[in-house]
Each structure stands twice: as structure tokens, then as C-alpha cells.
Chain A
Amino acid sequence: MCVSEVFRKHKMLVIEKYCLYRMIVAWISLSSFIYLANANDSLRKLNTSYNPGCSDADCSSFKVVYVEAEGLNDTLHYLWDFTQKPSIFMAATPVKSQLNISWDHFKGNNNKSITFNEEPIYSFGIVLDKLWEYNDINDTGLMDLKSRDSRYVRALDMENFNWTLTSFGNESVENVDVVMEASSYTPKDSTAVISGSIRLVLSAFGFRDHYGELPRLLHSANCTQVELVLDKLKTNSSFSSSRFAVGVLIASSDKANTTASIISRKSLDDEHSPGVFTLVDLQTPMAESGRGGYLQWRPVAYVAKERNVANSTETNSYGVTDVKDHTAYLNHTLLYAYYSSNLDSLLVQSTAVSFGLKEDGFYKKTNYTSWTFMMGYGKPPNENFSLLVIFVISIGLGLPALLIIISGLVMAVRRISRKNDDLFLNR
């Protein structure tokens, strides 16, 4: 019995040490979190306009949202363009720099129709190029990017959707939400019309916080959040197991022979996005220095309007590949309007993300998929243990551990004091 007693106490000691270790780590990360929050987080003032500076009758054919996010040291310019392919562009400039769009040139897709009067420190843009529908008959959740077989994959060019601005809500100096919706698709090469809707919800923020809705990504004042919703899309009737994937083009002011990289990090903490422990960063080469661009997302897609763990599936990313024929890909996008012929000496790459996981019942199960990512300037933010987690861990584990230690001590003391008594008197 004595041996077991000692063993048990030893075990408790180990556990207590472990808890202590966790708590110390947690407190350090908390203090570093507060420190980081104070150091990095400047607030920005947002100023939003639609087709800025456009005044003639043609303006109705343009769908450009411009958000100017003015900070203390620099100004970020966000341009969200849905005139053709959905393009999202951001540039960091000195504070006083002004955006200038020459609409006539923009319409004619001419060189340099978008300029700033002071050269940007960094610029970065993405184009949502294609939506792929692939027939995942083996139920792997993965897409074979190389296959172009029409029995396997169907590409929907994003510019063939008819984008309309459905809501320009919540416009304030702190936060802007824009909803673009495409409900009809008319491909150039056939007459088939695809029903259902694609929604893009873009949000810009002037402060650092977690977004209110799952997957509750962490945004700073340097971020645009993009949410892609595929709602009741009619799938290809010859596909039995349709899943979707989105192809994204990236262009930035980095040098042409460099490459963006995708890094996925795991954490122990899934407080903000329950059930998702991984954070994926796509960084441009400059991001290391803190003056580059990044995309950040959780590899999770929600398959119903009500977002929760049960209604979630995974996403897969496929690395970045170089895009050779820049002009062909980026023509008719806002990125081309800005970078123009410079593109040949700049970084242009593509990536893809597919939605779905083995045995999740394919897209047809709910006919709904939503995926959210952050696009930002600087270094991708790091998630830390939140105050709540630290608090719960210290109370939930520390308190009982303390009680056990105390009861162990009491037992030990009683043992020692009982040695002096007659053991059998009490019986």
C-alpha cells in the first residue's frame, strides 16, 4: 500500500508540474499578445467610394469599389473590381498618396489606367479566375489539376458571371462590407445557363479583431476579408460526385523569379474556429520583411448557412505555380490595368483551393459551400491563446490540482499524526 501511495503522490506532482508549465506558457503568450497588439496595431480610417472619379454615362458598366484606409504611417488602397473577372487589389502608399483612375483607359483595357501620385511601397492583387467543378468519383476530396478531361472537370470562367452589387452595407470609418452576387452565368461557347448563385462578401477593417462569424479569422487593420459562397449552384448533370474548386491568380510587385509560398501551421488552440487547428498562409516573398502581401485562411468550408462544426468540411490547397503567359491570364482584370506591361518582370503565379473531404457527401448533399480568406498587407498575424482559454485552463486545471495537492498533504499529515495513536482504538 505504501508503494502505491508514494507512486500516486509522485504522479500528482508530475501533473502539477505540467499544469504549471502550461500556465507559464499561457501567461507568456498572453503578455506577448498584448505587447504585439499594442505594437503592431495601428487603427485606420476607412473611406469608401464606388467607381471613384467616374462621372459620365458609361459609369454604370463599371463595378469598382474603392476603400481608402488611412493610417498613421501609410495609407492602404483597396480596389475591388467586378467589372469582369473579380479582382482584389491592394497597395500600400505613403500617407498622402492619391489614387487616380482614368476611366476611359480602364474601359479600353489600356496601359496604366490606374496610378498613384506617389509610388506604392508595395502592391499586391488577386484574381478569382475560375471556378472548377470536378467529378470526384473516387471520393478523395482532392482535385487532379492536370486533367482537362471534360468528363472529369468543367471550368466556369468567372468573367462570364453577371456580377451585381447587392449590398453596400455597414459602411463606416471602421468597417465596410460589400456583397457581390452573380446569379446568372452565360458561357461564351455555349448557350447553357447555370442557375444558382455565387456570392462574394468583401470586408475591410480599420482595427484588429476576430471576425464575428465562423471561421472567425483574425484580421488586422491591414486586411480585406473575402468570403465566397456557392449557393444552390446547378451541378453538371453528367457528374455524379461534383465538388468545386476555385483557381486564384496572384500578382505582386515582387520580382519575377521569386515565388510565393504556402505554409500551413498547426496550433493546439481552436477556440476561434472550432474544430480547425490549422492556419494556412500564402505569403509573397516580401512578407518576411513585414512589407509584403499574404492570403490567410483556415482549411475549412461550411456547407450550410448555419455555420458550425457539424456543417463543416475541409479545403485543400495545391501549392503555387508560375503563370507563363501573364497577359493572356490577366487581361481584362484590374491587375492588368495597374501593372500593365510591367507584369513580365513581376511575380505572377496561380494557386487553387478545392472544397470537400472524403465521405462528406459531395456538394449535392447541401448544395451550399462557403469559404473565407483574409488578404492582407504585412506579415500574416499569429493566433495566440486568448484570455478566455488561459483563464479556463488555469481555473479548470489549476484549482482541482491545487485541491488534490492539499488533500494529499492533509492525508500525509494525518498519517504522521496517526502513527502516535493507537490504531485500533477507532475501530
Chain B
Amino acid sequence: MDGEFCNEAEKILPEPEEDLELTGCAAKPCCNPSHSLHRFMALFLMCLVGFGSYFCYDNPGALQDNFISDMGLTTSQFVYLYSWYSWPNVVLCFVGGFLIDRVFGIRLGTIIYAALLVIGQIIFALGGVFNRFWLMVLGRFVFGIGGESLAVAQNNYAVLWFKGKELNMVFGLQMSFARVGSTVNFNVMEPLYNWVSKYYSGYMCIGVVLIIASTTCFMSLICALLLAFMDKRAERILRRKTDQDGEVVRLTDVKDFPAIFWLISVVCVTYYVAVFPFIALGKVFFERKFDFTPDNANTVNSILYIISAVASPLLGLLVDKVGKNVFWVCMSILVTIGCHSLLAFTYVTPYVAMSILGVAYSMLASALWPMVALVIPEYQLGTAYGIAQSVQNLGLAVITLVAGNIVDSAGYLLLEVFFLGFLFLALLTSVLIWLLDRKSSGILNMTPRQREVFERSQLAAEALEREKLLASGSMSDITPHDLLQPHSDFHIRNRYLSRIGAPLPSNYSVNMKGLAYRALR
């Protein structure tokens, strides 16, 4: 039904760009940037870029007891290794994303952040070698700057290469790779430590283990370099980005980000705080309320990660095929509310609730993050993802503290009610997104086919208007409708630019300021 109105528009539309003649290696599937095989090679690299960061992030967690005994730390000192990673990123994610857009560009940005990852991990390891705790904390800080901004860069790459194609699946796959990274870490680090401890002991051993772990960061850096090469080549061959040259993101653009983007960020916070802080406090809850043994409690606690590692790419694929992101977001929030209610108000075995929660969480992650790319033009995307991630980091950091206090003073039932409250807020926000989206273009809840048609019709309408403006040069373009409508500055500038014959950037439109309709491909 939504697609019907554009039938006419479709006819006016100029034919999509003709396929470029490719010769040599580029003609083969593995080297041809427009071929899916080549894209999936890039995807593999994108996932590996994140691997080092997720592997090393949980190094302290995997070796907690060894850290505490070898370095003579207290538990609260140990916590610094995580808080010095996460707190600065409340701000730095945003800065990192903005720098990608404004200064470095995606390729250089990714390389720089991957390099920071390596440097941070090496400093961290040296802190172990020299038994200097402050050096370790410094290392974690540098590592954090690199790691979180790298995640933003990773999102950007995904959008650049996969928007309008398998974007949701790619987001899902990146997420499951993150899980794989931390799972591998938890399984590998202890045997590695035991092996190294045959040759070194004490803090030296920790240092050496961390240096060995830093090879994963080196691998990330190499992947970032390869990816930059591939992207450069693809850009040259596909002549990508030509229309948007000259568009530069400004800090003040942030205030013009559409309301839907901010609402998406709100969902990010309100949903994720009901998942991760809960997992952090979950073990005792499962042990005490459901009489689980510590082993079982750990299993049920990690079930969410295991399920999400498998389910996110698959569910992403589903969202790719069906579209309707907002619908899926609402569904997953509803299901999550159901799961938390099961945990809070019943004694049904948590395996049920946590398994369903795992699926709902994966669905949300695969459907929510790509929505940002639909409402924000490409040249602002780094900033936008940076903001979303910063806001999420802030929410998680604050709520984790608050949740701990709630448990200690009022118990798990109230904690669950607290999380349910956040989930209802998330649901409310996503309903609001749905309404706002319906009022404007409705692109978020379209099927992929409708999105394609919509984008084309937008291009056609633009072309039509431009033609009209350029052709007339008289008052003939002023319709009675125009005279009755109040004009925005934007609209007037548009008309002026058109009249003097200046080319209009494709994303200039009266209806939707700051929206790029063109799928990036």
C-alpha cells in the first residue's frame, strides 16, 4: 500500500547507473567491489578488526584472581581496570565518531584507533612487566579510547559497504564476533597463563601473558590496514561518494539531528541497561532465588551471550528480508518485558526466560543499530554512532552503580521492577519512533522493496524539482500552493541556488533536511 504512490515517479526516474566496465582482477568475483564475495571478504575483515578489542577488553576478568594475587591488588583497585576503560568513553566515543567524520575519515580513523588499541595494550602489558599499577591503568585508558571509537568506525564501515543490502545481518554478525572474542578470551587466557607461569612468575608472568594477548590487537591493526586498502580501491572503482563531497559535519549539526535519532539513542540506553547490569548481578540472583549451583548459575547467566552469538546474524538476515525495523524493535522490547516479568514474579526456571531474552536481545541489536543509518546522512554517521554509543556508555555506567545499590538496599524484586520500568520506557519510546516515522517518511518501517522504491521516488522528485527550477527562470515555478505555505530559509536558499544554476546537493530537500535518500552502494 505504501509503495503505490510512486508508480508514476518510477517512470521519471533516470536509469540506475550503468555497470562499470571492469577489467583484469577486478572482473573476478573476489576482487570486484560490487560483487558480494568481495563484500563478504571485507565483512570478515570488519569483524576481525573488532576481535582484538573484545579479546583484550576482558583480559583482566579472565585472570582476575591472578591479577589480584600477582600484583597485590585489592578488589576495588582491580575494578579500576574496568572503570578507567568505561568512564572516559562516556565522552570519548562521541569525540572519536566526530573525528572520523571531520578529520580522519573512516579509513585513517580506523587505523588510528586500531593503533591506539595496540599501544594501549602494550602499555597495559608493560605495567605488568614493571609491576606499576598506574601504568596498567593508563594502558587501559588508552586502550579504551581506541576500543570504543573503533566500534564506532566498525559501524561506519558496515553502513558504507552494506547499507541497503545485508546491513542488519552485518550488525548481527559483528555483535556475535564480539561475543566470540570475549568467549575465546575467557577460555584461552587461563591455560595461557598457566603455560607462561612455567617460565615466569608473579607480575612478570602477567606482563608476558598480556604481551602475548596484544598479538590480537596487532591482528586488528593489520585488518584495519587491509580494509583501508580495499575501501580505497572500492571507492575508486565504484566512484562512490561523489555527490556528497564537500559535505562536512559540524558540531552544531548535532542539534539538527532528527528527533527520531535521539529517540533511538533513548531506546539504546533504556533497553541495554535492563540487560547488561542485570547480567552483572544475575549470578547471585539465580543461585538464591532458583537454588542454582554456582556452575548452573554461570551457565544460565552466559546463555544470553551464547544465544546472541548464534542468533544475531540470523535474525539480522530476517530483518534484512522483512524490513520493518521499528516493528521488530517493539516486539523485542515486549518479549524482554515478558522475560523480566517471568524472572521477577514467577519461579519458572530462568533457562526459559534467559533463552528468550537472548533471542529478543539479538533481535533488538540487529534491528535498532541500522536504523541510525536510515535517518542520518552518511557524512554525519560517525558522529551519530559516536553519540549513541556515548549515551549508552553513560547509561550503563550510571545504572550499573545504581543497580548495585538497589540490590543491596532493597533486593532483587525491586531491581527487576526498576528494569521493567526502563523497559516500559523503551517501549514507549519505540512506539513514539513508530508514530513519528509514520508521520514523516515511514522509511523505518518499510519492507526492503518499499525502501528501494521510496529512495528512487525521492531521487526522481528531486530531479523533477531541479529541472522545473532551472527550466523556468520565471515566476512560473511559483504555484499558488507555494504562496500559501510559509517558506523556510532552507526552502528559499534552495530555490535561490537552483536559479543561479548552482548544483543542489542531493540531500538538500525541503521535506527532510539532512536526509540522504540514496542508498550507499
For this complex, into which size category does the number of interface residues on chain B fall? Answer: 35 or more
Question: Counting CB contacts under 8 A, is A314 at the interface?
Answer: yes
**A-B contacts, 13 listed (Cβ < 8 Å):** A1-B445, A8-B334, A15-B338, A268-B413, A270-B411, A274-B408, A274-B409, A275-B288, A276-B288, A312-B284, A389-B414, A397-B420, A404-B427
How near does chain A come to B450, taking the closest CB pair, in angstroms? Answer: 11
- Interchain CB contact under 8 A, A400 and B411: no
Of B331, B341, B428, B439, the residue contacting A407 (CB under 8 A) is B428
- Interchain CB contact under 8 A, A270 and B294: no
- Interchain CB contact under 8 A, A269 and B435: no
- Interchain CB contact under 8 A, B411 and A397: no
Question: Counting CB contacts under 8 A, is B345 at the interface?
Answer: yes
Question: Which chain A residues in 10-58 approach chain B with CB under 8 Å?
Answer: 11, 15, 18, 22
- Interchain CB contact under 8 A, A357 and B287: yes
How near does chain A come to B273, taking the closest CB pair, in angstroms? Answer: 14
Give 1 or 0 for each of B303-341: 1 = CB within 8 Å of chain A CB: 000000000000000000000100100110010011001
Question: Which chain B residues in 383-434 approach chain A with CB under 8 Å?
Answer: 407-414, 417-418, 420-421, 424-425, 427-428, 431-432
How near does chain A come to B138, taking the closest CB pair, in angstroms? Answer: 28
- Interchain CB contact under 8 A, B408 and A308: yes
Question: Counting CB contacts under 8 A, is A243 at the interface?
Answer: no
Q: Which residue of A lies closest to B334 (CB)?
A: A11
Question: Counting CB contacts under 8 A, is A121 at the interface?
Answer: no
B residues in contact with A275, CB < 8 Å = 284-285, 288, 407, 411-412
**Interface residues of A, count at CB 8 A:** 43
Q: Which residue of B lies closest to A272 (CB)?
A: B411
A residues in contact with B420, CB < 8 Å = 396-397
- Interchain CB contact under 8 A, A18 and B5: no
Question: Counting CB contacts under 8 A, is B344 at the interface?
Answer: yes
B residues in contact with A357, CB < 8 Å = 287, 294
Question: Counting CB contacts under 8 A, is A72 at the interface?
Answer: no
How near does chain B come to A64, taking the closest CB pair, in angstroms? Answer: 38
B residues in contact with A331, CB < 8 Å = none
Known: A274-B409, A400-B427. A314 touches B417 (CB 8 A): no
A residues in contact with B288, CB < 8 Å = 270, 275-278, 300, 314
Question: Which chain A residues in 255-279 approach chain B with CB under 8 Å?
Answer: 266, 268-278
A22 to B417, CA, bound (A): 12
A residues in contact with B411, CB < 8 Å = 269-275
- Interchain CB contact under 8 A, B294 and A274: no
How near does chain B come to A277, taking the closest CB pair, in angstroms? Answer: 5
Q: Which residue of A lies closest to B511 (CB)?
A: A427
The 6 closest A-B pairs by CB, nearest first: A400-B424, A270-B411, A274-B411, A396-B421, A359-B294, A308-B408
A15 to B435, CA, bound (A): 21
Known: A397-B421, A397-B424. A271 touches B435 (CB 8 A): no
How near does chain A come to B247, taking the closest CB pair, in angstroms? Answer: 26
- Interchain CB contact under 8 A, B327 and A22: no
A268 to B5, CA, bound (A): 54
Of A18, A266, A392, the residue contacting B417 (CB under 8 A) is A392
Give 1 or 0 for each of B237-252: 1 = CB within 8 Å of chain A CB: 0000000000000000
Say whether chain B's binding surface is mostly helix, strand, loop, or mixed.
helix
- Interchain CB contact under 8 A, B413 and A271: yes
Question: Counting CB contacts under 8 A, is A76 at the interface?
Answer: no
A75 to B223, CA, bound (A): 81
- Interchain CB contact under 8 A, A270 and B337: no
What would 5 more interface pairs be, CB under 8 Å, given A278-B288, A392-B418, A408-B431? Answer: A268-B345, A271-B411, A392-B414, A403-B428, A407-B435
Question: Which chain A residues in 299-315 approach chain B with CB under 8 Å?
Answer: 300, 308-309, 312, 314
A residues in contact with B287, CB < 8 Å = 314, 357
- Interchain CB contact under 8 A, B421 and A400: yes
Q: Which residue of B lies closest to A266 (CB)?
A: B347
Question: Which chain A residues in 391-427 approach chain B with CB under 8 Å?
Answer: 392-393, 396-397, 400-401, 403-404, 407-408, 411, 424, 426-427
Known: A275-B284, A389-B413. A404 touches B293 (CB 8 A): no
Q: Which residue of B lies closest to A22 (CB)?
A: B345
Question: Which chain B residues in 251-305 approach chain A with CB under 8 Å?
Answer: 281, 284-285, 287-289, 293-294
- Interchain CB contact under 8 A, B408 and A400: no
Of A274, A389, A404, the most chain B CB neighbours within 10 A belong to A274
- Interchain CB contact under 8 A, A404 and B408: no
A275 to B287, CA, bound (A): 9
Of B284, B337, B408, the most chain A CB neighbours within 10 A belong to B408
How near does chain A come to B441, taking the closest CB pair, in angstroms? Answer: 8
A300 to B287, CA, bound (A): 12
- Interchain CB contact under 8 A, B409 and A411: no
- Interchain CB contact under 8 A, A424 and B5: yes
- Interchain CB contact under 8 A, B410 and A274: yes
Question: Counting CB contacts under 8 A, is A4 at the interface?
Answer: yes
How near does chain B come to A303, taking the closest CB pair, in angstroms? Answer: 13
A278 to B288, CA, bound (A): 8
A271 to B409, CA, bound (A): 8
A residues in contact with B324, CB < 8 Å = 4
- Interchain CB contact under 8 A, B424 and A404: yes
- Interchain CB contact under 8 A, A396 and B408: no
Question: Which chain A residues in 196-237 approach chain B with CB under 8 Å?
Answer: none
Question: Counting CB contacts under 8 A, is A6 at the interface?
Answer: no
A406 to B292, CA, bound (A): 41
Q: Which residue of A lies closest to B327 (CB)?
A: A4
A274 to B417, CA, bound (A): 14
How near does chain A come to B347, taking the closest CB pair, in angstroms? Answer: 7
